[in-house]
A and B are shown apart, each in its own frame.
Chain A
Amino acid sequence: MKLHTLPALILTLFSPSVIAQHKVPADTVIHHVLHEVIVSAGAFDASDKAKGASLTPIDAVTVAGSYADISLALRSLPGAQQIGEQSGLFVRGGTGDETKQFIDGTLLKNPNYPAVPGIQQYARINPFLFKGILFSSGGYSALYGQAMSSALILESVDLPEKSSASFSVFPTNLGAGMQHLASDNKSSYGANLNYSNQSFYHSIIPQKPDYFNGPEYLEGDANFRIKTGKKGMLKFYTNWNTSNVGMNNPDIDSSTLQSTYQVKGRNVYNNLSYRNYLTNDWKIDAGAAYSYNQDDVTNKLTDGTAHTVHIPYEPFSDKNNQRFTTSHFAQARVLFTRFLPHNQAIRFGVEHFYSEDKRIVSDSTRRLTDNLTAAFIEGDLYLTENLAARTGLRLEYSSITGKTVLAPRVSLAYRLKDGGQFNLAYGIFYQEPLNDFLYQTTHLTFSNAIHYVLNYTKKSNNRFFRVEAYYKQYNKLIKTIPEINNNGKGYAQGLELFWRDKKSIRNLDYWITYTYLDTKRDFLNYPHLLRPSFTAPHTTTVAIKKFFQNISTSFNLSYSLAAGRPYYDIHYNTTDKSTQIFDHGTTKTYSMMNLHVAYLCSFFKKWKRKDFSGIAFGVNNLLGTKQVFGYNYSFNGNNKVPVTPPATQSFFIGIFMSFGIDRTDDFLDNNL
């Protein structure tokens, strides 16, 4: 028997914020629906209401090796690729840009710190902020759009359980935070500050690039949450961060020169959301988001003594440049839900996205302003006792391209007598071209993907089995040759398995996934349909979590194994404006094992408010496997340089502490 709950502490490993769970509902909703059919094709729903072996947000984000980055954590689920050289989530043949994150309904436009070539940059927002994580790898709801491959639908926590303060000290990272819960348990506020500088760590563990700055990250966030009425909630979250990464690498086209890259980022993100019941049958969800992002990138060609070198011919003429990009983004959204008998509901709403982007490249300025408006409607229908459907429509208009599109979405769920369930989903998913292309021409249209998903799930005995097959067709992808156009296309199909078992071995929780992916694309500068360089045909992942009660220690192990990915050396031929593949191959197998250990204790047992603390350490790439993600080629194709992680292994060790002022007793005394 396991009475313990894995304490919130383990979760605070990287996070100064203490995990907040739902407050005890004063008005427990009593319902007699024993096992309702819930439409679930294409999605992993990690919720704080998860039962049995369903995922909780904590399960999802505490996978070893996830660096407190939700996209990295979700790579342990089927459908995602093990990409090590770029940020983001690459799902079912899609690029990282085809996955979008939504927090409380509104878009999180820049989830990660600005890109550094060949090196993953981590998330700006702490994943422990979320009490609900819905990872859709296909066929998601009409309430969301502008993501061709995948949507990550995140729900932030409500009121914290208690007031608390927390600290963490790691050689690369210092963090402090607090949460204050009002004595009437109706409102709270909090703030966190994190500073990370890896230069000390890099002086001990050598890295392949020669970093002359940082990597350095400073992030602060603040929030308030107010309960309005019995079921209403008003929440505000703001996050401010800056980053500075500067590095030298050997220039690929010469034997003596250095290529210098520096990126300074600034980002502000604000999210205001409100939800309430207007009557028993009507609910409103409203949200507004504003974000500002600024990336300042400098590329230089230098000699060994940090002097800039200018060489006026190819391939060196483009190697000294500066790119300064700013982006204002605002979104407003309102969603109404009308509840109907038998768990049926109709939802409808509108949203507007405003973006104003500016890019200055070596003294020339380009501007883009886009207004994207969407209206959507969706119905949850109960067809028979065992059959439910969710159908929706989404209309989108973008001012920058002047195009309007209508996206239908349908999913069906059929429950079997033994508790197993079949799900079927279909939908069209549109996405605007990236700014990189729109800066050059706005005579473009939406790209789209059509998804067909079939899945079977069975949950029982604290075990969870899921198998999913899908086919996807990509249309109107962006191609850059002969000029920028929408003539690209592609497909993806595959089969995915997920098995989680919390029962067979006492106190051991593990899951295993397998992902098969067959995909080809003709996009960007590809000369014809090719298997994209960010896709592996086979991927398998294992996540194991074990808590040893008698030594108060938790072990968290993850392993992923992926077949090699293709790589290409594609050359542009100026005479006939086409491209050709000069060289290609497949990288070696990717194999990565990560181990995290946390020992939980109390440093100040005698204190009136005993602390919940711990010591954590971890090794990423325990087996020391040499990873190669792909190859970079010199201009003439003669020099082929592997893209590898900055260091084979990474390590961390540190302590974390949390002091809580538990008001649960007050609350219980007042309410029982």
Chain B
Amino acid sequence: MKNLIIGLMAVVLSGFTGFAQTTSLQNAITKLDQSQTAKDYESLEKVFAAIASQGNDWLPYYYAAFCNARIGLLYQDDGDKIEPYSIRGEEQANKAKSLLDTTRQKNELSEVYTVMSMVYRTKVFINPMTYGRKYGMLSDQWLRQAKQFNPTNPRAMYVEAWVKYNTPKMWGGDKNLARQLATQSLKLLENATPDSQPHWGKAEDMELLSKYK
């Protein structure tokens, strides 16, 4: 009887912590959707990393890596600062990937690869002269994989649009293609729901498209 009670309590408790985790993850994601500054992302990264360490869910790792990628991009004019974030971001993305089932969770993998591509993009900004070629190509490669796993991933599409927009023409940049991709991505995001699954991209697409006016 005693054992049963303890067992029941354990079930309830674990359910409760599980529930608490979900809510705190959801809270953090809601905050993430409104974040803009490196400081915002930095404090959220800590939250996601803390949640991640409590369980075996790929999502908090994914979001932590995403925060690090965002911070890196925001620091793109301060090459001295970026490296620690890109290193952490890469570790977290790798961890997220290891928690996924590569044969079944193709969409999730596509999301992780998209973030990995962004993390590698931030490495370029450490110093484009020395890191650009190597990490730029690796970033492209991750993005290609992201599209292979899910050809209609709107976030992979956005990242591609962003790269095409910002790359000089002679190195493969294409502003028209960037516009097409961002428009297509935006269309796919029309019905995005702000749950815990990756759903960002709308604001980013709109920001990119606003440059065409």
Closest to B173 in A: A3
> Do A52 and B126 form a contact, CB below 8 Å, given A3-B167, A21-B134, A503-B77?
yes
The A-contacting residues of B in range 50-94, CB under 8 angstroms, are 76-84, 87, 90-91
Encode contact with A along B165-190: 1 for CB under 8 Å, 0 otherwise. 01111110100000000000000000
B201 beta carbon closer than 8 Å to chain A? no
Contact B87 A549, beta carbon cutoff 8 Å: no
Given the complex, which residues of B lie within 8 Å of A24, measured CB to CB?
134, 138
Q: How far is the CB of A561 from chain B (nearest CB, A)?
A: 27
Contact B134 A22, beta carbon cutoff 8 Å: yes
Given the complex, which residues of B lie within 8 Å of A550, measured CB to CB?
168-169
Given the complex, which residues of A lie within 8 Å of B87, measured CB to CB?
30-32
Q: How far is the CB of A36 from chain B (nearest CB, A)?
A: 11
Q: How far is the CB of B27 from chain A (nearest CB, A)?
A: 28
Instruction: Provide the bound-state CA to CA distance between A4 and B142, in Å.
Output: 18
Contact A49 B130, beta carbon cutoff 8 Å: yes
> Do A50 and B130 form a contact, CB below 8 Å, given A4-B168, A668-B141?
yes
Q: How far is the CB of B56 from chain A (nearest CB, A)?
A: 21
Given the complex, which residues of B lie within 8 Å of A50, measured CB to CB?
127, 129-130
Contact B133 A3, beta carbon cutoff 8 Å: no
Given the complex, which residues of A lie within 8 Å of B137, measured CB to CB?
664, 668
Instruction: Provide the bound-state CA to CA distance between A543 and B173, in Å.
Output: 29
Instruction: Provide the bound-state CA to CA distance between A41 and B124, in Å.
Output: 28
Encode contact with B along A206-218: 1 for CB under 8 Å, 0 otherwise. 0000000000000
A34 touches which of B84, B128, B130 (Cβ 8 Å): B84
- B: number of interface residues (CB 8 Å): 35
Contact B79 A52, beta carbon cutoff 8 Å: yes
> Do A51 and B129 form a contact, CB below 8 Å, given A1-B76, A3-B136, A664-B137?
no
Closest to B90 in A: A28
A81 beta carbon closer than 8 Å to chain B? no
Given the complex, which residues of A lie within 8 Å of B198, measured CB to CB?
none
B196 beta carbon closer than 8 Å to chain A? no
A58 beta carbon closer than 8 Å to chain B? yes
The A-contacting residues of B in range 90-131, CB under 8 angstroms, are 90-91, 124, 126-130
Contact A3 B128, beta carbon cutoff 8 Å: yes
Contact A3 B124, beta carbon cutoff 8 Å: yes
Given the complex, which residues of B lie within 8 Å of A1, measured CB to CB?
76, 166
Contact B132 A462, beta carbon cutoff 8 Å: no
A4 touches which of B81, B90, B171 (Cβ 8 Å): B171
Instruction: Provide the bound-state CA to CA distance between A59 and B90, in Å.
Output: 28
Encode contact with B along A45-70: 1 for CB under 8 Å, 0 otherwise. 00111111110101100000000000
Contact B168 A3, beta carbon cutoff 8 Å: yes
A2 beta carbon closer than 8 Å to chain B? yes
Contact B166 A51, beta carbon cutoff 8 Å: no
Given the complex, which residues of A lie within 8 Å of B167, measured CB to CB?
3-4
Instruction: Provide the bound-state CA to CA distance between A34 and B80, in Å.
Output: 10
Which interface residue of B130, B134, B163, B173 has the most chain A CB atoms within 10 A? B130
Q: How far is the CB of A200 from chain B (nearest CB, A)?
A: 33
Q: How far is the CB of B143 from chain A (nearest CB, A)?
A: 12
B145 beta carbon closer than 8 Å to chain A? yes
Q: How far is the CB of B88 from chain A (nearest CB, A)?
A: 8
Closest to A8 in B: B133
Given the complex, which residues of B lie within 8 Å of A52, measured CB to CB?
78-81, 126-127
Q: How far is the CB of B165 from chain A (nearest CB, A)?
A: 9
A552 beta carbon closer than 8 Å to chain B? yes
Instruction: Provide the bound-state CA to CA distance between A405 and B162, in Å.
Output: 61
Instruction: Provide the bound-state CA to CA distance between A408 and B166, in Å.
Output: 52
Encode contact with B along A340-351: 1 for CB under 8 Å, 0 otherwise. 000000000000
Contact B130 A30, beta carbon cutoff 8 Å: no
Given the complex, which residues of B lie within 8 Å of A30, measured CB to CB?
87, 91
User: 5 nearest interchain CB pairs?
Assistant: A5-B132, A52-B79, A52-B80, A549-B168, A3-B166
16 A-B pairs with C-beta separation under 8 A: A3-B124, A3-B171, A4-B168, A5-B136, A6-B129, A49-B130, A50-B129, A52-B81, A53-B80, A54-B80, A56-B129, A59-B129, A462-B80, A550-B168, A600-B170, A664-B137
| A contact set with B: CB distance below 8 Å | 1-8, 21-22, 24, 28, 30-32, 34, 47-54, 56, 58-59, 161, 419, 459-462, 503, 549-550, 552, 600, 664, 668, 672
Known contacts A32-B87, A51-B127; 8 additional CB pairs below 8 A are A5-B124, A5-B128, A6-B129, A54-B80, A460-B78, A460-B80, A550-B169, A672-B142
